[in-house]
Amino acid sequence: MNPRLRARFLDRSTPPHLVTLVLLAGLSAMSMNIFLPSLPKMTAYFDTEYRLMQLSVALYLGVSAGLQLLIGPISDKYGRRPVILGSVVIFLVATLGCLLAPSAHVFLGFRMLQAAIVAGIVLSRAVVRDMVPAEESASMIGYVTMGMAVVPMLAPALGGVLDQLFGWKANFEALLVAGIALFLLLWADLGETARPSENSLLAQFREYPELLRSRRFWGYALTTAFASGAFFAYLGGAPYVGSAVFGLSPATLGMYFGLLALGYMAGNFLTGRYATRLGINRMIMIGTMLPTVGLILSILAFLLGATHPLAFFGLMTSVGVGNGMVISNATSGMMSVRPALSGTASGLGGTIMIGGGAALSALAGALLVPGTGVFTLLIIMLCSSVAAVLAMLYVLHVTRIAGELDIPLPD
């Protein structure tokens, strides 16, 4: 298929509609966080420790990171459509397994299998890069992820309400229904956008060194990894902070979770609105600075005696805005280092990003034990955010030496 064909909804002979890409990426994000307000109750249900149940985030992220090493090259070789459809089928089987799991360890096994849906995030961006030239991709990715952000913004609140009304399993029942509906939509609307590669699959994997030798690719990838690391540490630690430190109910905790996602949506809107005008590097630099400032303000607020949850959850909005500005622009930068390897670059960059996120999420869960306050989590997040600023300064250093990428963005 020629990806330049005009998209027609529910016509898989044309590229997928923007709404389909938003919903695809949205389910991937929803599966990550809808059940977070239920973690304390899930811990009691399986009669285990919080740090074990918190691994449902860290292990999911770790498997997601590994899968992205495979998803990119396989989709470059065989196409986006079969990989996406296959990932949704695996996700549905895994979700059913989570619902029927008799123990925490069995649950965690199926939870890791659920990570197959990460193909939705990786390949929705690769599909955008297939459909539009590099100079437009950052803005379009920004709009796609802005729309996608509506889903995870509402998901924790929805999960908290479902938990209070029907119990924690209702979260996974909702994921099962959403996954079935998405599969039917993709079957009808998802047209192939990638040109089949003439290389063998093994040759596709051999392209990784070409990306790994690029200093600019590493700069963008590490910037994304550290910027999102603050977010993933938040996912690992905020449920504990909300329930143990502030005593919030699952529904109230879910509402507070939405503040960060609201910021993420705003950051993606700013990317879609200004990336072409300001250039991706300026957008990323601003996006790394905002969370650093917000986290410092949150630490200062608690040092001065703040006790309200908004002193923590409210200032996390800056982390969401920063991630919305960094991830879309840095992803566009990574995929533009070697445009012919856009799927591979998206997958490898995602592996680096989510692998780092899994480590920080696990670290937050391990350090947050009974008696631990909010400062431990805030310091972990601040260190990650400062590292993102330093990584982006390295990208700017490489750019000064090697020149701009071949993306004709005006100053």
Distance CA 150, CA 156 (A): 11
3 in any annotated domain? no
| pTM across the whole model | 0.68
CATH number of the domain bearing residue 94: 1.20.1250.20
Say if CB 323 and CB 265 are below 8 A apart.
Answer: no
9 in any annotated domain? no
Q: Which of 244, 375, 352 is nearest to 306 (CA)?
A: 375
pLDDT for residue 223:
92
Place of tokens 């909300």: 242
Its sign, for the CA torsion 124, 64, 182, 172, is negative
Residue ranges of the chain whose pLDDT lies below 50: 406-411
Break the chain down into helix, strand, coil percent, rounded to 5. Answer: 80, 0, 20
Q: Which of 185, 132, 176 is nearest to 22 (CA)?
A: 185
4 in any annotated domain? no
Please tell me the total count of domains within the chain. 1
For the stretch 251-276, pLDDT in tens is 788 788 778 878 887 887 887 777 77
SS3 6: coil
Task: Count other Cβ atoms within 10 Å, centred on residue 85.
Answer: 14
345 in any annotated domain? yes
Distance CA 237, CA 223 (A): 22
Distance CA 261, CA 298 (A): 18
Q: Which of 180, 230, 170 is nearest to 34 (CA)?
A: 170
pLDDT for residue 280:
83
Under DSSP, the state recorded for 1 is -
For the stretch 332-364, pLDDT in tens is 787 777 766 666 676 777 778 777 777 777 777
Q: What angle do CA 94, 114, 180 make, to 5 degrees?
A: 65
pLDDT for residue 142:
63
410 in any annotated domain? no
Range of the domain at 290: 18-402
Distance CA 95, CA 179 (A): 9
Say if CB 345 and CB 72 are below 8 A apart.
Answer: yes
Place of tokens 């502030």: 246
Structure tokens that stand for 170 in this block: 């209702």
Q: What value does the CA radius of gyration of the chain take, rounded to a whole number of Å?
A: 20
User: What angle in degrees, to the nearest 10, is found between the helix axes of 215-240 and 342-367?
Assistant: 40
Q: Which of 386, 380, 348 is nearest to 362 (CA)?
A: 380
